[in-house]
Chain A
């Protein structure tokens, strides 16, 4: 789960990581009031969207007077910001973060993530702040220093100091940065993050580190341990159908083609997409019903897939394991009763309780094309796509 910068900074402060002084606001009046109470100039206005690349897209402005801050706020609030990471539709700016500007000499990068290779957390530090760390990792991996963290002992002070000293920081600054990294590690663990970063971390003229921007990415699987975040998460789902699916515990992804897909398992979902593209068609969406779906979840999932108006053909591709075919069939049969299905339906059902499932489907009144393997599925989908034009 991604959260906004102003929320990230609240986390930073509660874990003792210094940030610029400031406040968030949703109207220009709130921003001007915040600037007045801050009592310093210039100030920085930062658009609160979850995608990166805001600076280059004009989403971060500086103001030298209260009037200017007000005008900038009017200009930014309600606009759609298109950055390198948002996609062409952009993301709407609903709030701004107003902050004091921090004069500084140097910018660093500090991040902690779960390293998939070692299965352990790792501290990543670079002398280049404000960078895209994954891009840097590809293009100049030598500029990233990495300390693997033994989760049994946590990040140790000597490890963190070593990294900052090897960047050539003066010892007092290195010590302050190391201390801050330990706080960041505490945040990472206590908030169940998959990754956190301070980027850039500014070093002021007096050598003090200040977190100018950052990311806190909380592991969705651990949201149950953080109820306030979990409720925030539900409120902020972007796409209505994706939100409905996620409320049901299903994974729904909206795409741009005409074949609606109901599948179980991420791997089969991806292979199904790849396969549909090979027929010359494009998937409209895919709904992964996962392993533990119940009859009612399948029924509601079917409703979600069919609610997408672009769907001209429905492909149900289920290979039962923990999910049983009869459960899927019963869900579809119930769906057929209260949805009017006007598109051709191609069904491939295999695995646990297949025969029971097929029996339920054939007595459901649904007019469907049964296929027994992927090759046949490709042929039939191709035919139906051609027919649907």
Chain B
């Protein structure tokens, strides 16, 4: 079992004829993802890597009935592409683009909210249910099918955590990055709720980082609602305040959003917090053994 995507998920790729879109569409197909449509305005009628290309998302939706759309268009156009997917009736939109103006995301998020469409990202590596479906740009080979959920704000740290798990033979149900921007779609709590309800997920790894208060909310959710073990790591313990650490979302503003506060909130709620990022795999392994 898995959350949000599985072996039956039908995927559309917006921007499939661009450099990134083409590269990752091929990787997704190789992984076994059902890529049913591509969209590039002006390229309708082409067949790209065996995938029919449409001029608009609406046409793609009518012809191929995708469940999920992934956006591989440059940041200035990404918010528009997200809204186009929602308008076409797609129920889950995955947006890897980095560098979208935050007010564009605010508007797109508002548009999706009204249509009850879920958004992963922006600035996300995407989502993968190992062995079933991959929607995004993570390297497929590091994953292994199993029953640990991995959710993160950072792309590369998701890979890091997954890699450590797989090397220990611990497989994953679904792994995803919720996005590194200050404003994103689905939150940690939304995802934890889905893992909690998924019979195929036995434990969850949460990779948080400085900035915002989503980790604190996750701690509260764990304390009040969650029955499955949660193992967390928070990046940025040594990050200097007031410096934007690459992710627009990763900034400690005058004592708010610091790593220590997040670690304390998680530990107080009973979450297992990993201090050394090299030990994520070890600690998950021992937590699973204890159960």
Contacts and interface: CB of A to CB of B under 8 A. Distances in A.
Same complex origin of A and B: yes
Interface string B182-216: 11100000000000000000000001011011000
A48 B252 CA distance: 25
A259 to B, nearest CB: 12
A181 interface: no
A267 B102 contact: no
B138 A267 contact: no
B154 A268 contact: yes
A151 B108 CA distance: 10
Interface in B249-291: 249-250, 253-256, 276-279
Contacts of A265: 154-157, 246
A135 B256 CA distance: 9
A150 B114 CA distance: 12
Interface in A107-135: 114, 116-117, 119-121, 132, 134-135
Interface string B1-44: 00000000000000000001000100000000000000000000
A378 interface: yes
Contact of B102 (A194, A269, A277, A351): A194
A222 interface: yes
B239 interface: yes
Interface string A128-155: 0000101100100000000000111000
Given A266-B209, A274-B277, A351 B159 contact: yes
A291 B243 contact: no
Interface string A189-232: 10011100000000000000000000000011110110000000
Contacts of B245: 253, 266, 269-270
A43 B189 CA distance: 53
A274 B142 CA distance: 23
Contact of A321 (B125, B164, B213, B239): B125
A352 B30 CA distance: 13
Nearest to B237: A274
A294 to B, nearest CB: 11
B169 interface: no
Interface in B33-62: none
A321 B235 contact: no
A351 B99 CA distance: 23
A185 to B, nearest CB: 12
Contacts of B80: none
A350 interface: yes
A245 to B, nearest CB: 11
A270 B155 contact: no
A255 to B, nearest CB: 7
B281 to A, nearest CB: 9
A254 to B, nearest CB: 10
B122 to A, nearest CB: 10
B106 A268 contact: no
Interface string B150-177: 0011111111100110010000000000
B139 A321 contact: yes
A273 B184 CA distance: 25
Pairs of residues from A and B, 7 with the lowest C-beta to C-beta distance, nearest first: A267-B154, A266-B246, A265-B156, A222-B101, A267-B157, A268-B156, A374-B278
26 contacts: A85-B242, A119-B109, A119-B110, A119-B184, A134-B254, A135-B254, A150-B110, A152-B114, A194-B182, A219-B101, A219-B103, A221-B101, A224-B76, A263-B156, A265-B246, A267-B157, A271-B233, A274-B236, A274-B277, A275-B278, A290-B246, A322-B155, A350-B163, A351-B142, A373-B167, A374-B278
Given A266-B209, A319-B163, 7 more contacts: A116-B182, A121-B103, A134-B253, A150-B110, A265-B246, A268-B154, A319-B159
